[in-house]
Amino acid sequence: MTVRIVIGAQFGDEAKGKITDYLAADARYVVRTGGGPNAGHSIHLPEGVVVLHQLACGVLRHGTVGVSGPGMVVQPFKFEEEMQDLERRGLLRGEVVLSDRAHVLLPVHEVEDGWEDDLRAKTNPAAAIGTTRRGIGPAYADRAGRWGLRAGDLTRPAILKERLELLYATKAHIPGLPPLPELLSRLSEVAGRLAPLIRPTESMLWDAVDRGENILLEGAQSALLDVDFGTYPYVTSSHPTSAGALVGSGIPPTAVDEVIGVTKAYTTRVGGGPFPTEETGEMGEFLRRTGGERGATTGRDRRCGWLDLVHLRYAARLNGLSSFAVTKVDVLGGLDEVPVGVQYVLPDGSTARDVLPSQSDDLAHAQPVYERLPGWPEFHERLKERIRREGARALPATLRRFLDRITEETGVPIEYVGYGPSRDDTVRLEPNPPPRRPPRLAAWTG
């Protein structure tokens, strides 16, 4: 039995869906542990591209249970549409389960999300977060404020009506809300169709642990967007860390065997917030164009820059990573050299290698120090076929040096490498864990 957690180690969009789908081949349960319809996990199947927003990747595989877990905020109308789309395409192959403890994200929250971000921008243009306007923040705020509805409430008409009326009473100041009777009617209808999927999931997963079945916990968003440990306030409203995956599933920490951090060979970010290694010129456009860096949910262009080892060291310590999966190495193929940020010079002249300042303004003024590594060849089809046939030993030597450098600097071995979008474009390295490097942590004094 193995319980694995897959965590994004950057700002999101690291191809977590691809890695989760790859690992789901051996899993009985795949559990989405947080987030909502703001996340889009793109998976390239032989039948075409699938973008999962609220369903766990396990639903694409026969014999696997895809659990939308208690840490999520679920938009029930879009949840149903996502299932129906997969059914029409013949791709809904696993079982779908929705935790009765997951919170319900409503059209009310979507209106509120847009209203709040417009208010930020009107008050101070620099304060606009660049939210997806999918209602994630307001839904999590209502969960914390104990105003929220949970999926289990959908199956209890009297409770649903009572809680929805209470929720509306808290939002009377927000313009443009849908009429309460209309929303209640729509919720009652969709509840009848989703009811067979809604059940307690924590006991189901505990029993699976006891039976020795493989469980995969799938994160949405990424560690640097954690509401506590990310680049606040330019963060999501949940905990996309390994600790958050436990809270969002009910799996106890003693059951976890592996924590896999997913990172691109470079870095991207959507929306506002500090990004020390960002490239705003020609190379940034090259990464955006070559990497197809456009959001699966919003369609917005992603900001692009070089790999940031300060971020990866921080994410490794924060999440207790046991290995990395490095994706999109093919995007950098053909470059003469590949810059890698190894440390920051801060405004006061000090340097940072292992920790991030808690103030986003300080991080925004950090200057990266780069190490320039030799590039590797383009990933033409002949090279891909050779890797599929021969495994990791067919990876170019300069790429192996790039991967080794990540391990040397973070103390975390590379276990998986993604070199293209399809399921087949992934290779396992089976590394020997490196000796732990001496800790070089210093307290932040800014």
- Options 13, 142, 362, 425, the catalytic residue: 13
| Residue 436 pLDDT greater than 60, yes or no | no
User: Model confidence over 164-193: pLDDT tens digits?
Assistant: 999 999 999 999 999 999 999 999 999 999
One of 21, 41, 113, 153 is an active-site residue; which one? 41
Domain ranges of the chain: 3-61+212-428, 103-196
Residue 296 is predicted with a pLDDT of 59
pLDDT at 333: 97
Active site residue 311: no
As beta bridge partners, residue 105 has: none
Could you tell me which of 237, 332, 422, 295 has the C-alpha nearest to residue 13? 295
% of the chain surpassing 70 pLDDT: 95
pLDDT at position 431: 55
CATH match for 103-196 among 3.30.420.40, 3.40.50.2300, 1.10.760.10, 1.10.300.10 = 1.10.300.10
pLDDT in tens, 333-372: 999 999 999 999 998 888 999 888 888 989 999 999 999 9
Query: Does residue 439 have a pLDDT over 70?
Result: no
- Per residue in 368-409, pLDDT (tens digit) is 999 999 999 999 999 999 999 999 999 999 999 999 999 999
Q: Give the predicted TM-score (pTM) of the model.
A: 0.92
Per-residue pLDDT band for 126 (boundaries 50, 70, 90) equals confident
The predicted pLDDT at position 444 comes to 42
Q: Is the pLDDT of residue 446 over 80?
A: no
Task: Reply yes or no on whether 103 is catalytic.
Answer: no
Return the CATH superfamily for domain 3-61+212-428.
Adenylosuccinate Synthetase, subunit A, domain 3 (3.90.170.10)
Domain 3-61+212-428 identical in fold to domain 103-196: no
> Which amino acid would we find at residue 61?
R
Q: How high does pLDDT run on average in the chain?
A: 92
Answer yes or no: are the C-beta atoms of 362 and 399 closer than 8 Å: no
What mean pLDDT comes out for the span 216-241?
A: 94
Question: Which whole-number Å values give the CA distances from 387 to 58, 334, 417, in the listed order?
Answer: 26, 17, 11
- The confidence score (pLDDT) of residue 440 equals 45
